[in-house]
Amino acid sequence: MNSNVAGLIHKSGTFQLYYPEDRITSLGWRTAESMDLLHWNISSTYLEVCKEVPINNPKRVISATVIHDVSSKSGLCSDPTCLIFLQATWPCNSEPTSTFQPLGYSSDLGLTWVKSPGEIKTDLELGRVRDAGVFFHNPTNQWILMAPTDQRIHFFTSSDLKNWKHQSMFGPAGNTNLQWEDPEMLRLPIENDQGNYRWLLTVTSGHSTGNGFSAVQYFVGEFDGKSFIPEPSASSANYLDQGKDFVGAMRIQSDQSLSEQPIVVGKIGNRLYGDDLPDKRLNGMLSYPRKLSLIRVHDTVRLKQEPAVSLASEGLQQVSKIEDLSGFLHGAIQLTIGTSGTKPRGLHLLKTADHWIEIGYDPSTNEVYVDRSRAGFVGFHPDFSGRDRYKLNEQSETIELEMILDRNLLEVFIQGGEAVISTLLFPKDLYGKAEFFGESGDLKIKATLIP
């Protein structure tokens, strides 16, 4: 898969992923299909964007967006399977401009495409735009285009996906270290506050650790179809993930309610060392799907993230002893950590004499962390090794972690979704054992193992 994903569609129980065949040129796009968001089959469907590599810059990326027009609001096709493919940056073989071209539409879920006539026009020259976002805003019955430039999001509105009017701008705010990209907008319920919602704006930006890392930053606020008004907490940066390898978030566009809470998947990779990974195919893989909602924490509204797919299925091996996790590569672990005492404690996975993955809690700082400094192959880039950490909102008697491991990707959901740490792993020994470390007398586990 590829981190420049154009869209993830859910239709009649099937998930379809649209992504560029080549991450550098993005001249052609393919489709992958899944029934469960975990197992994917690549389709033979191919959509050609450009017939040749752009002359002026052979590495120019063609950014695109696939829209599921469920209610036929565009007028391009009158079928609930209507998909629209938008080129959202600049045309092939030309200098960057602010035009957005409707490359084609499909009435059969992408099996065949019809070229769209005309060109999308905006009333504001923006220069180069990176990975715009488009969605339909039901309360005002119009399309919304989110065009990121530098550290700003420009909001445009349209009734036909062709003629766009500039309405407002949001930013700079939060982390402004890097160019903003890949905006998404989601309407989320506030837990224990029936009927109350807020809008969540996510954008790929700089990372809290600096050093050129990217992360997905989020803002909570109100959106009236023209302007995004953030909560007062927007002056500080909040992130969907505390790890170094979560570089994008993509909502699932669906023709039916998958859940009252929107579901997103992450784009896994890293722009500093992604091309140096021992397995380069993993630079652009998808994260485990996450179900999103909002919770009130003191005077602020914050994001809550939970695994959207349960692994506690019948027929899978369930264990409750640490010894049973030797050679653990696929599945989920629930870990309860007591917080009394002063020393760090937690879990080592795939442990050998010299290598292990460490997931722990440090009472002195009230932080949960994942340390991959000794997790096998770590020396391929100086910025890969190290520890990712998250400081908890409050002190608690116990820490609840839900960890999902898919061999090379570990995702740790903290305190029922208060935060998540995702990290790529390249273990040297796939048969290492599992064991507790530190003041571990009150550590408990339950695990679901996938063969």
Q: Give the Cβ contact number of residue 28 at 10 Å.
A: 15
Q: Phi and psi of 176, rounded to 5°?
A: -120, 25
Structurally, at CATH architecture level, domain 317-449 sits in Sandwich (2.60)
Which pLDDT does position 55 carry in this prediction?
Answer: 46
Whose CA is closest to 121, among 156, 77, 93? 156
Lowest mean pLDDT among 15-19, 328-332, 374-378: 15-19
Mean pLDDT, rounded, for 142-155: 90
Instruction: Encode pLDDT of 318-357 as tens digits.
Output: 888 998 888 888 889 999 999 988 899 999 999 999 999 9
User: What are the residue ranges of CATH 2.115.10.20 in the chain?
Assistant: 7-307
The single-letter DSSP state of residue 279 is: S
User: What are the residue ranges of CATH 2.60.120.560 in the chain?
Assistant: 317-449
Sequence-distant (6+) residues with CB within 8 A of 137 are 143, 144, 157, 223, 225
Name the residue type at position 55.
I
Q: Looking at the whole model, is its pTM more than 0.85?
A: yes
Instruction: Encode pLDDT of 49-69 as tens digits.
Output: 555 544 444 434 456 677 788
Mean pLDDT, rounded, for 134-152: 89
Sequence-distant (6+) residues with CB within 8 A of 376 are 350, 355, 425, 426, 427, 428, 429
Whose CA is closest to 327, among 335, 336, 337, 317? 317
The per-residue b/e assignment along 48-62, b for 16 or more CB within 10 angstroms, e otherwise, is: ebbeeebeeeeebbb
pLDDT at 221 over 90: yes
Q: Please determine, looking at this structure, whether the domain spanning 7-307 carries the CATH number 2.115.10.20.
A: yes
Instruction: Encode pLDDT of 283-323 as tens digits.
Output: 888 899 999 999 988 878 899 999 988 776 656 788 889 98
What is the overall mean pLDDT for the chain?
A: 83
Contacts by 299-303 with C-beta closer than 8 Å and gap 24+?
A: 300/231, 300/232, 300/233, 301/190, 301/198, 301/220, 301/231, 301/233, 302/220, 302/233, 302/238, 302/393, 302/418, 303/188, 303/200, 303/218, 303/220, 303/238, 303/240
Helix/strand/coil for 276: helix
Q: What is the phi-psi region of residue 260: left when phi exceeds 0, alpha when psi lies from -120 to 50, beta otherwise?
A: alpha
Residue found under tokens 């089959």: 41
- Which range has the top average pLDDT, 250-254, 381-385, 439-443? 381-385
Percent of the chain's residues with pLDDT above 90: 40
Mean pLDDT, rounded, for 154-175: 89
The single-letter DSSP state of residue 175 is: -
Mean pLDDT, rounded, for 11-27: 71
